Amino acid sequence: MPYSRILLDKEQLSRIVSRLGAEISSQFRSEDNCMALVVLEGAKTFANDLLAKVDFPVDIETITASSYSGANSTGNVMIEKTGTLGEKIQGRNILLIDDIYDTGLTLSRILDWLKTLQPNSIQTCVLLEKEIEHAKQIDIDFIGTTIEDVFAIGYGLDFEGQYRDLPCIGELSEERSQQYNAAPKT
Ligand code: IMP
Ligand code: MG
């Protein structure tokens, strides 16, 4: 087993996503010009399920961010986006969707970039908030739930590219994380 215990099972995830979908819909329903900006790769599964639940028209765009090496944030956030995304932001009501609010470095980098592009509004949604002192404090508008400071896998969240396909979210096993730490790095 790659995880030592289940943090959120399939049913719990489904309930959380339905609640968030309803909350977001009630805020965005009266707006037009909405754009969901999904932070890949981790938020893909969550965002797919979430956006299937909302009842307002929304364009979906993606941005790729990465900062993790194994189970540690490198703090060095890399952002990749398509060349034309920047031109589509002006005047839009943006819903930024990420998987986890951990150190906050990723979201803060993306938010800083978004603000320069003059959207009409920006709201943020994360599935999970880790109960830690965040390096960057961010006001998240929609939070699924909080988790302890453990490394989570499944439902889109990976450890070294693996386990995104698990239907639940679990805590990465000590054994699996040690195997990684013991392996020679190239
Ligand atoms: P932050 O920049 O430290 O807030 O981290 C944000 C990104 O790191 C998230 O979007 C995730 O993709 C990844 N991340 C943070 N914690 C975890 C975890 O426990 N499991 C898997 N990915 C994580
Ligand atoms: Mg991410």
Cα–ligand 1 centroid distance for 120 (angstroms): 27
Residue 88 has pLDDT above 60, yes or no: yes
Residue 83 has pLDDT above 90, yes or no: no
What confidence score (pLDDT) does residue 185 get? 56
Tokens, residue 163: 């386990």
Q: Is 102 a catalytic residue?
A: yes
Which residue has its alpha carbon closest to ligand 1 atom 9?
A: 100
Who has greater pLDDT, 67 or 170?
A: 170
Summarize the confidence of residues 54-64 as an average pLDDT. Answer: 95
What distance in Å separates the CA atoms of residue 125 and residue 144, rounded to the nearest whole number?
A: 8
Return all residues near 184 (Cβ < 8 A) that are at least 6 apart.
none
Who has greater pLDDT, 154 or 67?
A: 154
Summarize the confidence of residues 18-29 as an average pLDDT. Answer: 96
Who has greater pLDDT, 54 or 83?
A: 54
What confidence score (pLDDT) does residue 109 get? 92
Q: Which atom of ligand 1 is nearest to the CA of 104?
A: 4
- Ligand number with the minimum distance to the CA of 131: 1
What confidence score (pLDDT) does residue 81 get? 81
Q: How confident is the model at residue 73 (pLDDT cuts 50, 70, 90)?
A: confident
Residue 52: Cβ within 10 Å count: 9
Return all residues near 16 (Cβ < 8 A) that are at least 6 apart.
8, 127, 144, 145
Summarize the confidence of residues 163-181 as an average pLDDT. Answer: 91
Return all residues near 69 (Cβ < 8 A) that are at least 6 apart.
none
Which is catalytic among the residues 49, 98, 102, 158? 102
CB 114 within 8 A of CB 81: no
Cα–ligand 1 centroid distance for 100 (angstroms): 5
Ligand 1 pocket list (CB less than 6 A): 39, 42, 67-68, 73, 98-106, 151-152, 157
What distance in Å separates the CA atoms of residue 94 and residue 183, rounded to the nearest whole number?
A: 41
